[in-house]
């Protein structure tokens, strides 16, 4: 016999030993552990083990004693178990009719096995007894979705509730949880919630099962569809950092609403931070390109740049007030100081309470709440060229298309001034003025005021006569915005979103109040009929003018805690979102994981071209009706 034939014969003989008639079945399994008792409709976990003489992988065949025989693993795509491995198998004993039946029954569990070549061990293990106690499982749970749609890569919340006939506490397993994952136990009938993050676009099938403290499981709930879309999730984050005396890097908050503008063809964000800096951040990669400190760095806990910036691209300037009561004019190219008002020595802080600035036709406007005054400053030099004072001036100024300035006070007066601060008229409303004015294309003025019993939204004609009044029942602090359907939208202090007809002051037809759960910012409207709102709890919402929530994104800060309190700045209670040139969304957060967040938007979701589509009118935060911002 030549060598080649000999090798072939040997190889065939070895193959026969391992895969043919010489393949032996696994040894009779051993039940390593089983509980002494369980309840009906509860998952019983049993541990079994055996070895295979040929080291083949093993399937376990379980006879549970109730006329049910299972094979583990059962799925076609699941790998069989390794020889010698102790594994867990499981079973649920179904209920029997309690009438004329014992309260408990004894069942005998036995185990056999087969290898992955199909060789079966015909003998079963010695039986192990288990007592199964009758128990009524929870009722089939009711489930519901917080929202019907949401972005991928974001935390989504789902709810369920079930009752137990015997009053046992209940836990829930949702479809997106692992087989052994359950929520914490809650009282029977309580609402139970869980969160999930989905990484793929499409329809997610959501259902739930409840179990009681004894482990008895309910029937599966109905299945609901939750749609995930490729938007609304965090793309990048910019963190404002500082180094206190101990040398440790500290990330501090951003409480102002970001302004956005294009300078020399590049889009930037302009914003101040608790870190004592005024930042210029490139939108494409969220990297800081320039920053400045105030002339004397303030204490870290004083929110030195708590106001929002206003960016005057043609002048190469941006304006932002710090909490030491100074308005800075900075370069849009380098963030270096051009001028400061008042231009006092560095050690002589004013401690004034300044509002956001507005600008128009060579002037910059800012209200000083401490001195009850409006300053009109030269854009070129920062010198005061106009002045107006009246008791209790409270809100940031707004400017109409003709350059007239509107402000409000805490006595309810709305003041209309000319471009240098001369009074044209003032009109008394009920309550304390609480929002900066919004001005439409024909010069009508919309402004919020609060009383001891609730808030009101007022509309004034250009001649100061009252056009209409809308009663809110809750205070209003966030500046409204005009939507793409020519309705006025705003969020009250209770977190309810209102839509009001601009002409009549009545609720938008078919609109139901949307409860966001916390006080909200000013809306930012998109050209494709959606708007974004940030809340006090740092949840960013995308809502359609049809009243449906498209997505809700909790910022990373929102996983920690809500802000302990709100600032006194009326329009800045919650940082408002701003929209970039490609539809991405930018919003600031100030607690726990503070920063400036960039969220995925839609290319069709650029800023709407309405009379007043967002906070401070436009992305540059000019505060001026009819202003065309640099994008």
pLDDT digits (tens, 9 = 90+) for 498-507: 999 999 999 9
Residue in the block written with tokens 């650029």: 606
The Cα–Cα gap between 562 and 600 comes to 23
244 or 233: whose pLDDT is higher? Answer: 233
Is residue 217 within 8 A of residue 226, CB to CB? The reply is no
Predicted pLDDT of residue 292: 83
Q: Between 6 and 144, name the one with better pLDDT.
A: 144
Residue 460 region, left (φ>0) first, then alpha (ψ -120 to 50), else beta? beta
Beta partners for residue 266, in sequence order: 263
Q: What share of the chain is helix, strand, coil (3-state, %, to 5)?
A: 5, 40, 55
Residue 496 in contact with residue 547, Cβ under 8 Å?
A: no
Residue 5 phi/psi, 5-degree rounding, is: -65, -35
Question: Which of 168-172, 287-291, 455-459, 462-466 has the lowest average pLDDT?
Answer: 287-291
Strand order in the sheet with 202-206: 149-151, 224-229, 202-206
Residue 20 has pLDDT above 80, yes or no: no
Q: How many CB atoms lie within 10 A of CB 311?
A: 29
- Averaged pLDDT for residues 133-159: 96
Helices (H), 518-596: none
Spatial separation of the C-alpha atoms in residues 197 and 239, rounded to whole Å: 24
Lowest mean pLDDT across 75-79, 175-179, 435-439, 520-524: 75-79
Structure tokens at 591: 């607690």
Query: Mean of the pLDDT values across residues 502-531?
Result: 96
Is the per-residue pLDDT at 148 higher than 80? yes
Residue 17 has pLDDT above 60, yes or no: no
Residue 376's beta-bridge partner residues? 365, 386
Nearest alpha-carbon partner for 358 in 320, 314, 305: 320
pLDDT (tens digit per residue) in 96-136: 988 878 999 999 999 999 999 999 999 999 999 999 999 99
Average pLDDT of the residues of the chain: 90
- Residue 294's pLDDT is 67
CA separation for the pair 427, 416 (Å, rounded): 9
pLDDT tens figures, 300-345? 444 467 789 999 999 999 999 987 788 999 999 999 999 999 987 6
- Range from 246-260, 383-397, 479-493 carrying the lowest mean pLDDT: 246-260
Which residues are 542's β-sheet partners?
532, 551
**Radius of gyration from C-alpha coordinates of the chain:** 34
> CA 57 to CA 39: how far, in whole Å?
32
Query: For residue 211, what pLDDT is reported?
Result: 97
- Those residues whose C-beta lies under 8 Å from the C-beta of residue 620, and which sit 6 or more positions away, are 259, 260, 261, 310, 311, 312, 313, 627, 629, 630
More confident residue, 297 or 575: 575
Instruction: Give the three-class secondary structure for 136.
Output: coil
Contact (CB, 8 A) for 617 and 524: no
**193-207, 531-545, 561-575: range with lowest mean pLDDT:** 561-575
Report the distance separating Cα 176 and Cα 432, nearest Å: 49
Is residue 393's pLDDT more than 80? yes
Give the H/E segment covering residue 16. helix 3-19
Q: What integer pLDDT is reported at residue 572 of this predicted model?
A: 43
Alpha-carbon distance 490 to 508, whole Å?
12
pLDDT for position 570: 42
With a cut of 60, say whether residue 299 has pLDDT above it. no
Q: In the structure, what pLDDT confidence band is assigned to residue 16 with cuts at 50, 70 and 90?
A: very low
Q: How far is 288 from 268, CA to CA, in rounded Å?
A: 9
What does pTM read for this prediction?
0.87
- Residues with Cβ < 8 Å from 433, sequence gap 6 or more? 394, 395, 408, 409, 410, 412, 413, 414, 447, 448, 449
Query: What pLDDT, on the 0 to 100 scale, is given for residue 304?
Result: 63
* Residue percentage of the chain with pLDDT more than 90: 79
Check pLDDT > 90 for residue 348. Answer: no
Contact in structure between 64 and 42 (CB atoms under 8 Å): no
127 near 207, Cβ under 8 Å?
no
What's the pLDDT score for residue 22?
Answer: 86
Non-local (6+) Cβ contacts of 264 within 8 A are: none
Closest by CA to 589, choosing from 518, 526, 550, 539, is: 539
**CA 195 to CA 356: how far, in whole Å?**
38
- Please state, in angstroms and rounded to a whole number, the distance separating the CA atoms of residues 591 and 588: 10
Distances in Å between the alpha carbon of 37 and those of 43, 168, 182, 252?
A: 11, 18, 21, 56
Question: If pLDDT is split at 50, 70 and 90, which confidence band does 247 have?
Answer: low
């Amino acid at each position: 016999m030549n060598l080649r034939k000999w090798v072939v014969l040997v190889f065939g003989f070895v193959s026969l030993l391992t895969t043919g008639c010489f393949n032996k079945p696994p040894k009779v399994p051993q039940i390593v552990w089983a509980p002494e008792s369980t309840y009906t409709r509860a998952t019983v976990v049993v541990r079994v083990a055996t070895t295979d003489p040929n080291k083949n992988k093993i399937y376990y065949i379980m006879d549970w004693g109730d006329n049910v025989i299972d094979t583990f693993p059962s799925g076609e795509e699941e790998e069989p178990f390794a020889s010698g491995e102790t594994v867990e198998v499981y079973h649920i004993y179904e209920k029997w009719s309690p009438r004329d039946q014992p309260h408990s029954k004894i069942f005998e569990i036995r185990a056999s096995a087969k290898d992955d070549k199909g060789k079966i061990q015909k003998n079963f293990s010695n039986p192990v007894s288990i007592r199964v106690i009758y128990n009524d499982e929870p009722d089939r749970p009711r489930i519901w979705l917080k929202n019907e749609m949401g972005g991928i890569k974001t935390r989504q919340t789902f709810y369920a509730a079930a009752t137990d006939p015997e009053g046992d506490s209940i836990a829930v397993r949702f479809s997106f949880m692992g087989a052994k994952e359950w929520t914490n136990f809650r009282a029977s009938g309580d609402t139970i919630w869980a969160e999930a993050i989905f990484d793929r676009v499409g329809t997610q099938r959501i259902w739930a099962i409840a179990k009681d403290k004894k482990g008895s499981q309910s029937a599966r709930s109905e299945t609901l569809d939750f749609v995930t879309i490729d938007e609304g999730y965090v793309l990048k984050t910019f963190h404002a950092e500082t180094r206190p005396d101990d040398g440790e890097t500290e990330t501090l908050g951003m409480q102002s609403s970001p302004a956005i503008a294009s300078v020399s063809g590049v889009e930037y964000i302009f914003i101040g931070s608790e870190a004592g800096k005024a930042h210029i951040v490139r939108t494409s990669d969220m990297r800081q390109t320039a920053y400045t400190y105030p002339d004397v760095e303030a204490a870290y806990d004083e929110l030195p740049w708590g106001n929002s910036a206003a960016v005057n691209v043609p002048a190469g300037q941006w304006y932002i007030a710090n909490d030491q009561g100074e308005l800075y004019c900075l370069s849009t190219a380098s963030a270096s100081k051009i001028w400061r008002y008042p231009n006092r020595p560095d050690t002589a802080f004013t401690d004034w309470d300044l509002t956001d600035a507005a600008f128009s036709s060579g002037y910059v406007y800012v209200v000083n709440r401490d001195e009850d005054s409006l300053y009109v400053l030269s854009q070129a030099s920062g010198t005061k060229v106009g002045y107006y004072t009246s008791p209790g001036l409270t809100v940031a100024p707004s400017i109409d298309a003709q350059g007239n300035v509107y402000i409000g006070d805490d006595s309810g007066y709305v003041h209309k001034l000319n471009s240098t601060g001369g009074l044209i008229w003032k009109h008394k409303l009920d309550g304390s003025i609480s929002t900066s004015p919004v001005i439409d294309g024909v010069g009508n003025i919309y402004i919020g005021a609060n009383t001891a019993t609730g808030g009101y939204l007022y509309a004034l004609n250009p001649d100061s006569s009252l056009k209409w009044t809308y009663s809110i029942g809750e205070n209003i602090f966030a500046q409204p915005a005009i939507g793409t359907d020519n309705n006025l939208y705003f969020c009250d202090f209770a977190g309810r979103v209102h839509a009001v007809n601009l002409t009549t002051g009545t609720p938008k037809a078919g609109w139901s109040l949307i409860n966001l759960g916390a006080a909200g910012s000013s809306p930012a409207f998109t050209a494709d009929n959606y708007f974004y709102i940030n809340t006090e709890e740092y949840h960013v919402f995308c809502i359609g003018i049809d009243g449906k929530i498209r997505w809700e994104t909790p910022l990373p800060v929102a996983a920690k805690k809500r802000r302990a309190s709100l600032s006194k700045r009326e329009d800045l209670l919650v940082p408002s979102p701003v929209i970039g040139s490609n539809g991405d969304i930018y919003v600031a957060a100030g607690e726990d994981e503070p920063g400036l967040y960039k969220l995925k938007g839609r290319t069709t979701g650029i800023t709407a071209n309405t009379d007043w589509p967002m906070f401070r009118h436009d992305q540059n935060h000019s505060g001026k009706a009819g202003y065309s911002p640099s994008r």
